[in-house]
Amino acid sequence: MTDIKSLSVIGAGAWGTALALIAARAGRDTQLWVRRPEQAEVMRRDGANKRYLPGVGLPPDLRIAGDLPDAFSAALSADAVLYAQPSQYFRAFCRAARPYLAPTSPLVICAKGIELGSGRLMTEIAAEELPGQCIAVLSGPSFAAEAARGLPTAVAIAAAEDTVAQRLMAALSHAAFRPYGASDLVGVEVAGATKNVLAIACGMVIGRGLGENARAALITRGLAEVSRLALAKGGRSETLMGLAGFGDLILTCCSLKSRNTSLGHELGEGRKVADILAQRHTVAEGVTTAAAVVALAEQLQVDMPLCRAVDDILSGRINIDTAVQTLLARPLKREF
């Protein structure tokens, strides 16, 4: 089992920056690849990523590479590459990276989303665009700001081969960051992507004043519908009970630190989605994934009424009150 000595993180948003800090703390030779050269310059000058991860200093040994000639190919020559840009840009990344990635070096998907239009999971995009590439998925309850501050965080790292997961776990683990190994890539991915849609729903419930009973019911029934989707895609139900499933759902749905939950909260208070997004420079993956997951559920004939309601509200087809009335008026049924 060869050690991972060097590691590159693609994307210097909050999560990419936090992952680069984690890798550097774990003693890896780490570089953070930044899409906009001017942002790389500002980060080097400030010793921080004030735009996406304020209040956290970057260690001097963390290399910050801007998108200049050769920097991209150099970043992709590391022993492992972590993709931490939003999911809708993953296909374009794969196409750009194809000439430079060594097929045996793990490409670790750290984004949480489903492709709009195709309904593809990130691993499916990777299989289409980078056939034969060694792929892993990192997901779990992990607010970037907390992990970056060195607060205790545990995640799942899934790979088809155990040795790949183990090498990545060894490369990233340190006193405050504990990865667990997994082999169910699909389950980990489906859980990570769909929790963002449910988080928007939970935010709406609280913002609209519908109460904590309603939020708990939403989380529980949300987990049931996400489990149906994961199983239909070939995932395993135990994964949904783990860090990437239950763990991330609870974290995200119960905290306004979540961009998805806070977006839902603002919607619940009566603001319009376009106005909320216009005022933010950060991503809320659940907005695009809501539409993608509904299309995917239709293809697979999986019943996902909560995700559908979120998509209907985001698209302006119904309002929150009508969505709630419709959900509650469905025929009574057994829980399991």
Ligand X SMILES: O=C(CO)COP(=O)(O)O
Query: Annotated binding residues for NADPH, as ranges?
Result: 15, 35-36, 52, 112, 144, 259, 283, 285
Q: Check binding of 282 to ligand NAI (CB under 6 A).
A: yes
Q: Is 315 helix (H, G, I), strand (E, B) or coil?
A: coil
Residue 141 or 187 having the CB closest to ligand X: 141
Q: Site for ligand NAI (CB under 6 A): which residue of 142, 227, 239, 288?
A: 142
Q: Check binding of 84 to ligand NAI (CB under 6 A).
A: yes
Residue 105 or 123 having the CB closest to ligand X: 123
Q: Check binding of 91 to ligand NAI (CB under 6 A).
A: no
Asked whether 6 and 29 are in contact (CB, 8 A), the reply is yes
**Which does residue 248 bind out of ligand NAI, ligand X, none, counting CB within 5 to 8 angstroms by kind?**
ligand X
How far apart, in whole angstroms, are the C-alpha atoms of residue 122 and residue 15?
17
Stated as kind and residue range, the H or E segment containing 107 is strand 107-109
Q: Nearest approach, Cβ of 248 to ligand X (angstroms)?
A: 5
Find all residues with CB under 8 Å of 178, minimum gap 6, and list them: 152, 153, 154, 155
Residue 110 or 292 having the CB closest to ligand NAI: 110
Of the candidates 332, 323, 328, 208, which has an alpha carbon nearest to the alpha carbon of residue 267? 208
Active site residue 333: no
**Which does residue 14 bind out of ligand X, ligand NAI, none, counting CB within 5 to 8 angstroms by kind?**
ligand NAI
Q: Nearest approach, Cβ of 10 to ligand X (angstroms)?
A: 17
* Secondary structure (DSSP) of 150-196: T--EEEEEEESSHHHHHHHHHHH-BTTEEEEEES-HHHHHHHHHHHH
Q: Tell me which of 5, 195, 257, 333 is the catalytic residue.
A: 195
* Secondary structure (DSSP) of 192-249: HHHHHHHHHHHHHHHHTT--HHHHHHHHHHHHHHHHHHHHHTT--HHHHTSIIIIIHH
Q: Check binding of 113 to ligand NAI (CB under 6 A).
A: yes
**Which does residue 246 bind out of ligand X, ligand NAI, none, counting CB within 5 to 8 angstroms by kind?**
none
How far apart, in whole angstroms, are the C-alpha atoms of residue 259 and residue 99?
34
Find all residues with CB under 8 Å of 88, minimum gap 6, and list them: 113, 115, 116, 288
Q: Check binding of 208 to ligand NAI (CB under 6 A).
A: no
Q: Nearest approach, Cβ of 23 to ligand X (angstroms)?
A: 18
Residue 155 or 214 having the CB closest to ligand NAI: 155
Handedness of CA 233, 200, 192, 14 (dihedral sign): positive
Q: Nearest approach, Cβ of 11 to ligand NAI (angstroms)?
A: 4
Task: Enumerate the known binding-site residues.
Answer: 15, 35-36, 52, 112, 140, 142, 144, 195, 248, 258-260, 283, 285
Query: Where on the chain is the footprint of ligand NAI (CB under 6 A)?
Result: 11-16, 35, 52, 84-87, 89, 110-113, 142-144, 282-283, 285
Q: Catalytic site residues?
A: 195
